[in-house]
Chains A and B, each alone.
Chain A
Amino acid sequence: MSKLRKSVVKQQERSQAPKRPAVPRPTAAAIEANARDNFLYSSAIRSYVLSVGFFILAVLSAGGFWPFDALRNIKIEPNTASSLTIGASYGLAFDLVTGVLCLALFVFLAFAWGNALEIRGNVIEWKHILFLIIVVIFIAAWGGIMSFGIFLLGSFAVLFFMWYAAR
């Protein structure tokens, strides 16, 4: 059989084969829901990446690891009152930084988890928030009483604001 003949036969076979059912065009609502989910997902990923960054910084700061160890261990001359004051305020400043980092970690992790839950058709609940507070509070506690206090007060302030905005 010549090549030309073969192609004619194939064309005939194709035309006789049963046609696939046409895929229904997505509705405007479905397109909107998909776009919303994609946005929520990318937002969750961005928030999670940020929270991981804050986690690393908070751990380094609270644990006094590099480079925070060198910054924290400022040389204090025991007989100089001003040096003691500087050293004390320097330490407090780092505790404050740790508290803020922990707070940022909590907020962004809550955003990320909340977005993921929303995609799955759920909402973030008190148990999720409590879990996050417990996880982050251990990091904050290592940063000293100042960082612990800042995280605790800050997280309650954030929760109050969210509750107030959502009610």
Chain B
Amino acid sequence: MLGVMLLSIASQAAASITPALNVYHLKPGNADPAPSIDGVVDDVWSSYNSTVIPIKIGGEDQLLRVYTCVFNDFIYFGLQLRTSTHAGNESFAIACSNETIGTAPVNDSVYSYTVAKIVRIDGKSWDWKIYNRPRMFSNWTKGSSISGEHFKIGFGASNFTFYELRFGRQLPRADDFGGDVNFVRKNSYPLKIFYGTLYGNFSEFYAPQLGNWTTSTQMITLTIPPAPDDPTSDEIGELKLNETVGKITMFIVAGLAIATVGVYIMRTKSRIKRL
């Protein structure tokens, strides 16, 4: 009894010394059809899993619902934030590294990553590439801005903002000294979502200064799903399971029908007159 109590006290003390680090997981599914970039949480988004991640905004804990899905060579993000008031220059940045999960530092600054991929978004549909040796950053699109087909922000009736984004999964940038994080199917990548209202001048070469952003989520792991036709994909697994269930159900029904005929035949024995 005393041992159990001591163990309980020790575990509580340990927990208080090293607070548990929450790691959130984003497991996008293969979308078909792809969501339309219109700033609306439409049916395509609703049919996929979303992850709710806490984020501190203005000293208060808020919940950020993150939708993700993959369609061919694109990855889609939907960031839904519901707060009582939204800052006029509310912005999000998604930063991702190609470092191995577990070894990547969980840091509020993307500068801590050796290679990172960032995007900064706000109502003006803008992003910027940062290149700063030896740390390399690149944006997620080929151009210097996110065009309408890649980004749309929606304002919902229930006081929420919905940032809908589409990025290429793989963007070779050898001429920019590398630095791209290419999302390979089945691989996992560390990711962070930053929130800010105090960003600097857009035209700064080294902007946005993610380290100066107000707040960020805990570390998130993003796992790119296998291709839909890959035997290991969830879609194929689900299809196979449904097929097996359907098959077995059908065979059981057929078996019962045949058994009924058998019972009918067995009962015929009593109809034969004894001599």
Contacts and interface: CB of A to CB of B under 8 A. Distances in A.
Interface of A: 26, 30-31, 33-34, 37-38, 41, 44-45, 48, 51-52, 55, 59, 63, 109, 112-113, 115-116, 119-120, 131, 135-136, 138-139, 142
A48 B250 contact: no
A116 B272 contact: no
B254 A138 contact: yes
B254 A116 contact: no
A48 B265 contact: yes
A24 B274 CA distance: 13
B257 A41 contact: no
A30 B275 CA distance: 8
Looking at chain A's contact residues, is the secondary structure mostly helix, strand, loop, or mixed? helix
26 contacts: A26-B275, A30-B273, A30-B275, A34-B272, A34-B273, A34-B274, A37-B271, A48-B261, A48-B265, A51-B258, A52-B258, A52-B262, A59-B255, A63-B247, A109-B258, A112-B261, A113-B265, A115-B265, A119-B268, A119-B272, A131-B257, A135-B258, A136-B254, A138-B250, A138-B253, A142-B250
Contacts of B261: 48, 109, 112-113
B269 interface: yes
A34 B269 CA distance: 11
A59 B251 contact: yes
A62 to B, nearest CB: 8
A45 B266 CA distance: 8
Contact-residue size bin, chain B (C-beta under 8 Å from the other chain): 20 to 34
A135 B264 contact: no
B247 to A, nearest CB: 5
A83 B262 CA distance: 44
A45 B250 contact: no
B264 to A, nearest CB: 6
Nearest to A55: B258
B271 A55 contact: no
Given A48-B261, A59-B251, 4 more contacts: A55-B254, A59-B255, A139-B250, A142-B247
A31 B262 CA distance: 26
A136 B254 CA distance: 7
Contacts of A30: 273, 275
Contacts of B248: 63
A44 B268 contact: yes
Contacts of B254: 55, 59, 135-136, 138-139
Interface string B130-165: 000000000000000000000000000000000000
B272 A37 contact: yes
Nearest to A113: B261
B255 A55 contact: yes
A30 B273 CA distance: 9
A147 to B, nearest CB: 13
A128 B265 CA distance: 14
A63 B251 contact: yes
Nearest to B267: A116
A130 to B, nearest CB: 12
Contacts of B274: 34
A75 B122 CA distance: 53
Contacts of B251: 59, 63, 139, 142
A126 to B, nearest CB: 16
Contacts of B258: 51-52, 55, 109, 135
B262 A48 contact: yes
Contacts of B268: 41, 44, 116, 119-120
B142 to A, nearest CB: 34
Contacts of A41: 268-269, 272
A44 B261 CA distance: 11
B141 to A, nearest CB: 35
Interface string B224-261: 00000000000000000000000110110111011001
